[in-house]
Amino acid sequence: MFKNYLKIAARNLLKHKAYSLINVLGLAIGMACCLLISLYVVDELSYDTYNEKAPRIYRVATESRFGDTETASALTPAPLAMTLVQDFPEVQTAARLFTLFGEVTISHGENRFNENRVFFADSTFFDVFSIPLLKGNSKAALTKRASIVLSEAMARKYFGDEDPLGKTVMLNTNIGLNVTGVSANAPHNSHFHFDFLISLASFGASRNPSFTSQFNYHTYIVLQEGFPPEPLEAQFPEAIKKYIGAQLPAGSDPAASGGQFRWWL
């Protein structure tokens, strides 16, 4: 029976060649498009899922409205990360990233290149993100001033097969940085990619206590197990009122509904 069906199908295909070709090509193209779209969607949904704490990691964003000007960004003030850890027990840990926009020069010996994926990071970076260190101690790599972690690709680029730990690279030809770690390359499905992580302890402005200046830090927090983000967000207006309320324009009430300034996750 099945053999007869195949014979009939073959005869129809040969009898109506043009029509059959159009249908077969249409089916093949449709299946290929469906497969490609599925692969794309799966890849998009996989972003940042490599982090072991992914369900508990949140990035703090800032939204403000003063007059007719509205702004929203993922940039926050320098003291926010430590303040959230100190004031809210549901925040297990936090880490900041500060991006150097544009190119900087990194050099070691005769190797000198212009690089644009250079970040300053807190010592807690590896407590938040599951990017393993191939060399060095993840707990100590970014604790000291003038320390730097290289990605695996950059370690090979600048040092070849040589062990880079304890060696010095130069930032913009005049700042020496001690290599304290080599990390695995960030996965392709990460929302940020770095080649160099410099200790934020090296960056004096990171200790600035002001909440109203230097809105140029990405602040990431990890919530304790079982704590949803909504109750924490609900406490942000009071925190804003406490720390920066006096600096907001007259009449602004961050604790009120529709306030002119807010943080959110």
pLDDT tens, residue by residue, 50-60: 999 999 999 99
In a domain, 225, yes or no: no
pLDDT digits (tens, 9 = 90+) for 133-144: 999 999 999 999
The answer to whether position 101 is within a domain reads: yes
Residues 20 and 92 in one domain: no
Alpha-carbon distance values, 60 to 65, 68, 121, 152, 200 (Å): 17, 24, 16, 29, 18
3-class secondary structure per residue, the chain:
CHHHHHHHHHHHHHHCHHHHHHHHHHHHHHHHHHHHHHHHHHHHHCCCCCCCCHHHEEEEEEEEEECCEEEEECCECCCHHHHHHHHCCCEEEEEEEEECCCCEEEEECCEEEEECCEEEECCCHHHHCCCCEEEECCCCCCCCCCEEEEEHHHHHHHHCCCCCCCCEEEECCCEEEEEEEEECCCCCCCCCCCCEEEEHHHCHHHHCCCCCCCCCEEEEEEECCCCCHHHHHHHHHHHHHHHHHHHCCCCCCCCCCCCCEEEEC
Distances 201 to 98, 141, 177, 198 between C-alpha atoms, Å: 12, 11, 12, 8
In a domain, 11, yes or no: yes
The model carries a pTM of: 0.84
Residue 257: inside a domain = no
State whether 111 and 203 are in the same domain.
Answer: yes
Within a domain: 229: no
Mean pLDDT of 186-202: 92
Specify the number of domains making up the chain.
Answer: 2
Instruction: For residue range 93-125, list pLDDT tens digits in order.
Output: 999 998 877 889 999 999 999 999 999 999 999
Is the domain of 30 the same as that of 63? no
**Is 130 a member of any domain?**
yes
Assess if residue 186 is contained within a domain: yes
Whether residue 107 sits in one domain with residue 32: no
Whether residue 61 sits in one domain with residue 14: no
Q: Which domain holds residue 137?
A: 54-207
In this structure, are 61 and 41 located in the same domain?
no
The percent of residues above 70 in pLDDT, for the chain, comes to 83
Max CA distance (Å), the chain: 86
* 156-184: pLDDT as tens digits: 999 999 999 999 999 998 889 999 999 99
Cα–Cα distance measured from residue 58 to residue 52, given in angstroms and rounded to the nearest whole number: 13
Residue 250 has pLDDT above 60, yes or no: no
